[in-house]
Structure 1
Amino acid sequence: MRQGPLCLLLVMLSIGAPAHAEESSESGHSTPLSLSAGSQITELQQRLKESEQQREELSKNLQSADAERESTQLGHLRQENQRLKLQLKEAQANPQPRLLTDQQQWFVTGAGVALLALLCGIFASGGRRQRRQWLN
């Protein structure tokens, strides 16, 4: 006989014997396994109840913290709203006639800058006129 199939046969027999031994040992402990599973189930149910209670307490604490934070923000917003209302009343009570709108003010500012640049250019040339030729 060849050595290849003989080695394969020995390996299969060595693996099969422990597997058969495990099956018989598991069938012998089936009753205590069900008892331990039942105790684990009750323990897990108790832990679930405790976790639910802790979750509810934490959610209540979070809601109360959110309510406190919102109440402080609400107070700040109310104070700012009152301050802005007072500013609005003061502005309406003392109407200052505006000569120019914002757009007109920007136009006047740009014209002033252009005029200033023109004057600087005239004074920088020294007031003398020279003919400058661009081409020879």
Structure 2
Amino acid sequence: MRPGPLCVLLAVLAVGTDAQAEETNGSGITLPLPTAAAQVIDLQQRLKDSERQREELQKQLQSADASRESAPLKELRLENQKLRTQLKEAQTSLPLRFLTEQQQWFVTGGGVALIALLCGIFATGGRRERRQWLN
């Protein structure tokens, strides 16, 4: 660090401590600064007040949010309840299926293959000849 800014810094710090040594009230009488213990107690009291105010504001905010959101929330819950009852009614009104759609297609394909096999057997007349290529 250069010596110029260091000297300026020390001068400002020295003047600053003298300026903070005394305070004057409105009548011009100088009062000594409060001690560190008094400042700590004052700050602790202000912290307690701030925390209490914060808690009160937090409670007010929660109550305001609850009152604002309660009406749409109730409407959504009622709509959800109605939709659930409609779903249950729709499920009970549908006939109980034995096979799923995929299983039905599988059974249909197997049936077609079996019919094709039977048609092939009946088309040959039921005789089994040995067929060979003629040379």
Q: Do Structure 1 and Structure 2 share a fold, with TM-score over 0.5?
A: no
| Structure with more helix by fraction | 1
| Structure with more strand by fraction | 2
Q: Higher relative contact order at CA 8 Å, sep ≥6: structure 1 or structure 2?
A: 2
Query: TM-score w.r.t. structure 1 length?
Result: 0.42
